Structure 1
Amino acid sequence: MACTFTKASLLRSGAVRAYSAQAAPVRAYSAQAAPVAGSTNYEVKTSVLPNKLVVAHAENDSPISRVSILFRAGSRNESGETMGATHVLRVAAGGTTQRFSKFAIARQVAQADREVVAYTLEGTRRAVQDTIPILSAVATEQLFYPWEISENDNRLRLELATRPPQLRAVDLLHKAAYRTGLGNSLYTAKYNIGKISSETLQHYTATNFTSNRGAVVGIGVSHDTLLECAQSLPLESGSDATGPGVYKGGEIRSDKGGDLAYVALAGEGGSLKNIKEAIAFAVLQQVYGMGPSTKRGLGSSNLLRKAVGELNEPHSISAINVCYSDSGLFGVLLTGSANIAGNLVTAALTTLKSPNISDADVNRGKNQLKTTVLSAMESGSYALEKIGLQAVLTGSALSPGDIATMIDSVSAGEVKAAAQKVAASKPTIAGVGNLRCVPFLDELK
């Protein structure tokens, strides 16, 4: 009996995370033209200012506008002294700035992952136009008053206590695979709550929130407005160096008891340095399976479901593909009752180490990926996030239509080569929960 324990939103999936591309331009929004909310038929325009700040704009004819200011300042940039700073930044968004008090700022504007910290504004076109200065202040003029930082300690504890175990397993997977840099957690450690000071945050933002590490992106906002916003940001230029993400492999286990085991296992995946390879890994993820592709379906045609077979106990198994600017992880996230977890892990690793992929599997994966990408890009907030990630990590942004073209151009040989890269790499495994039946890494063949 299969059930859905894993959610795709917990993960950063390859091609959707990385790209977009050019399609035929649509007409500009006007009061006379009925907007088509969620349209994926749009062009993305990109500019780079003299200070290396990237500006990207798209028009999707929606009545809702969205603007993001992003920096390559995710947790991979944390050092021993600043460990956990991005988690604190995420919950501290909306504090007092040089121009606005916290009472004038909506609190929920910040997101952060291992590579990027982003501040986003969303609302009607007129409202967004009028409040862009507040977004600019929130992103670049934080004061980090000590009493405001300490007010968030209970929220930090709550977020640590309520982390889904699947997310915890993926977090530990990164720690085992990279150790430092990309291995840094998305969350501050319990022992560090209350110890990340105002001075630490000021130092972290001054070091990483710089023009050459940033981008300003928008949907439903004119390019000229975004350029004006970008040019007004009080940003200094800084170092562009980020420690390389070097995949090493390993094992971390967190025995917590209970009835279920949550296990993530992976090998080395693709990166944004090679776009074609990253797309191939995104197709491979669909081939291995991400759960049912249809309502109430079982996804029985994917490789992982075939490898596991029919089980009478609750379980879930899904391929994961996490693509970063210079490295990546590809593998499996699984959940199951403690007594079958070992069988699930063995079946999953055997499938990763001995892939048997047909051309029909690749064609199915390509079609599923195109559907996933184009459907997801109908959401304006999702499209903004993906365009923003492209702009800040690669310096340019592409549109959804060309992603589909790039997917079509991937050959079966390239997908099989991606699978062989995973098979040849040292495996990484991380587990949370009742792990009594989960084999250790040196016991897996």
Structure 2
Amino acid sequence: MLTRASRKVVRRAPGTLFIRGASKDVVKNADTHLKVAATGKSLPIMYSLVNDLRVACYHNDSEMSSTAIHVEAGTRNETSETNGVSNLIARLAGKGTSSTKVEEMQMKLSKMGASLDVNVGREVTSFVVTGFSKDSIEHANIVSEVVNSSIFDENAITKERDAIVTEIDRNMENFPQITMDYLYSVAYEGTPMSQSLTGSIKNIQSLNRKDIMSFIKGNYKAPRMIVTSVGGKVDLDKLAEAAEKNLGGINNTFENTQDYCKPCRFTAMEVQHRDDDLPLAHVAMGFNGCAYDSPDRIPLRLLAEVMGAHDKSDGGLGQGLNTLGKAVQNPDSGLYSVTSFSHFYSDCGLFGNYYVADAENLYDAGLFVCHFWRNQCLNLIESNLMRAKRSLKGKVIDDIYSLPALQGKLAQDLFFGPGHPESVEETVDKIESFTVDQIQAVAVEYIRDQEFARSAYGPTEGVFDYNQSIDALRGYRW
């Protein structure tokens, strides 16, 4: 039985938030004015075990729950020789443990109506079991067994390597993914962040069980692991006991810590893969963003919402849309889609947009997008900011009812954010607090007259010149 003395308790009471101090946690009253039906029963609470493994819950009245182990290890922790090992580990999850065969594991999950999924990111790998909330403790036992006791059978490794190679070949037709992979390869050139999530075919074919075990031994440590449960009401004490029983023996000491997460510098450059046989050009441009815990994260997300996402397939005549939306919906325009993105990591971030245009209008599309960003720096319209706030708040509130979104937010909050799960009220208050002048100041800092990374794939001859793009972003104050 896990005793109270063997864990550090961090509890949230309604209307309070924790401020991390140097020596102790200070409880402060939170002035929360937004009332959401579910939030009264969805305040996050957290334990930290003696080996520094953390356990967190986010409750609501759903009959479904999602129990996960998040590991702060992903493609950023791989070397150039082992790029793709995280993806291989994910594919092998559930393919047998030291005490349970793969058929038995599948039968156990099937009887509970549960599923096992593994998501690989650049800095976090998540092992998730989703099912009925009444079985959440058993879900925790299963996912702990998968993380702690997988055998990585040689036959299974060979089979999954072949499956990954086939998937990589198939993804060569996934133009948005290829373009974004190119963008990361130049934006973080020479750093682990430039590596793809899947790995290269050459690397995948050379990976073996020794590489897998070496990666797990070096990165799957208790301080880099979090056990989380979101959805239906879970007994946190029982979840902490299960975590202590299954994962309490995981090592919390590191070797070669000086090599862990070296700073990933941003590089302003571009790459073009010209293929005139394609009908449309795909272009991604990314600015040097901020880290997840930066106060500029919310303003950058708001700027991304100001741009929004527009596609010709959405239909309509463009009434009520911003200038980009009207341009995309114009039947005479060669701009087919525009989408913003904002990615945040432990010490860096990438913010920008992705657009698709035909070869004849590619130059004008690039100029148009640059002018749009310049206008947000110099003349952000208040009504556009209000719409962006409503859109972002809507997404934040919708995430309460999305188990994968809640899991991802918990992991980022604990690994890269304030160190405790941030409630929806806190996030919404931050969104509401920013003014037009503050957002413009952030836009000027990150966009105006700033160099950027860019990738282009397809008939790229007419891509807007890089130096002219810098001039178009600069603009002038009159």
Alpha carbons 1:140, 1:209 under 8 Å: kept:
no
Query: What residue number does 1:251 align with?
Result: 270
SS at match of 1:414: helix
Distance 2:274 2:235 in 1: 52
Range 334-343 or range 207-216, more displaced: 334-343
1:126/1:360 CA distance change after superposition, 3 Å: closer
Please identify the structure whose Cα radius of gyration is greater.
Answer: 2
Query: What residue number does 2:364 align with?
Result: 343
Report the Cα offset of residue 142 of structure 1: 2.2
Query: What residue number does 1:206 align with?
Result: 217
Aligned with residue 243 of structure 2, among 230, 248, 259: 230
Deviations 1:218-261 (A, max 9, x none): 01322113212332314211446411232222112223431121
1:412/1:217 CA distance change after superposition, 3 Å: same
Alpha carbons 2:175, 2:457 under 8 Å: kept:
yes
Query: What residue number does 2:388 align with?
Result: 365
Range 260-269 or range 301-310, more displaced: 301-310
**Superposed, which structure 2 residues align to 1:110-125 within 5 Å?**
110-125=118-133
1:52/1:422 CA distance change after superposition, 3 Å: farther
Alpha carbons 1:22, 1:44 under 8 Å: kept:
no
1:307/1:337 CA distance change after superposition, 3 Å: closer
Structure 2 alignment gaps of length 5 or more: 1-11, 17-36, 107-114, 472-478
Report the Cα offset of residue 308 of structure 1: 6.5
Distance 2:362 2:293 in 1: 35
Alpha carbons 1:55, 1:391 under 8 Å: kept:
no
1:133/1:268 CA distance change after superposition, 3 Å: same
Q: What letter is aligned with 1:331?
A: G
Query: What residue number does 1:196 align with?
Result: 207
Distance 2:308 2:138 in 1: 44
**Superposed, which structure 2 residues align to 1:16-35 within 5 Å?**
none
Q: What letter is aligned with 1:351?
A: F
1:175 and 2:185 equivalent? yes
Deviations 1:347-369 (A, max 9, x none): 21233345331233222211221
**Superposed, which structure 2 residues align to 1:108-147 within 5 Å?**
108-147=116-155
Distance 1:300 1:186 in 2: 38
Q: What is the TM-score when the length of structure 1 is the normalising length?
A: 0.85
- Alignment length (residue pairs): 410
Aligned with residue 264 of structure 1, among 279, 284, 287: 284
Query: What residue number does 1:6 align with?
Result: none
Q: What letter is aligned with 1:171?
A: D
SS at match of 1:416: helix
Aligned with residue 296 of structure 2, among 277, 291, 295: 277
SS at match of 2:57: strand
CA RMSD of aligned residues (A): 2.6
SS at match of 1:99: coil
1:329 and 2:367 equivalent? no
Q: What letter is aligned with 1:385?
A: G
Deviations 1:100-152 (A, max 9, x none): 22223348521011110000001112333324222111122222222211101
Range 385-394 or range 331-340, more displaced: 385-394
1:259/1:56 CA distance change after superposition, 3 Å: same
1:186 and 2:197 equivalent? yes
Aligned with residue 330 of structure 2, among 310, 313, 320: 310
Report the Cα offset of residue 382 of structure 1: 2.2
Alpha carbons 1:172, 1:252 under 8 Å: kept:
yes
Q: With CA pairs under 8 Å and 6+ residues apart, which has the higher RCO, 1 or 2?
A: 1
Range 97-106 or range 317-326, more displaced: 97-106
Q: What letter is aligned with 1:225?
A: K
Alpha carbons 2:81, 2:203 under 8 Å: kept:
no
Q: What is the TM-score when the length of structure 2 is the normalising length?
A: 0.79
Query: What residue number does 1:48 align with?
Result: 48
Deviations 1:147-204 (A, max 9, x none): 2111012321232133331122122211111112222211211222321111111111
Distance 2:441 2:424 in 1: 25
Deviations 1:242-292 (A, max 9, x none): 112322221122234311211110211222231x31011111111122338
Report the Cα offset of residue 443 of structure 1: 5.7
SS at match of 2:129: strand
Query: What residue number does 2:25 align with?
Result: none
Alpha carbons 1:307, 1:348 under 8 Å: kept:
no
Report the Cα offset of residue 48 of structure 1: 2.1
Alpha carbons 1:22, 1:398 under 8 Å: kept:
no
